[in-house]
Amino acid sequence: MATSQAGIFITFEGIEGCGKTTQSDMLYNYLIGQGYPAMFTREPGGTPVGEAVRKILADTKHKDMLPITETLLFSAARYQHVNQVIRPSLEEGMIIISDRFADATVAYQGFGRKVPMDLIRELNQVATWGVWPNLTVLLDIDPVLAFERLRGRLEQTSQDLDRIEQETVEFFRNVREGYLQLATDDPARIKTVEAAGDPDEVHQRILDLIRPHLRAYGRPQKINL
Ligand code: T5A
Ligand 1, atom 5: nearest CA belongs to which residue?
105
CB-based contacts of 225, cutoff 8 Å, min separation 6: 92
Rounded-to-integer distance, Cα 15 and Cα 34, Å: 29
Higher pLDDT: 107 or 159? It is 107
Ligand 1 pocket test: pick from 13, 15, 16, 65 the residue with the most ligand atoms within 8 Å of its Cβ. Answer: 16
What band does 2 get if pLDDT is binned at 50, 70 and 90? very low
Ligand 1, atom 48: nearest CA belongs to which residue?
149
Q: How far is the CA of 186 from the centre of ligand 1 (A)?
A: 23
Which residue, 212, 3, 216, 209, is CA-closest to 90?
3
Mean pLDDT of 79-98: 97
Q: What is the pLDDT of residue 224?
A: 53
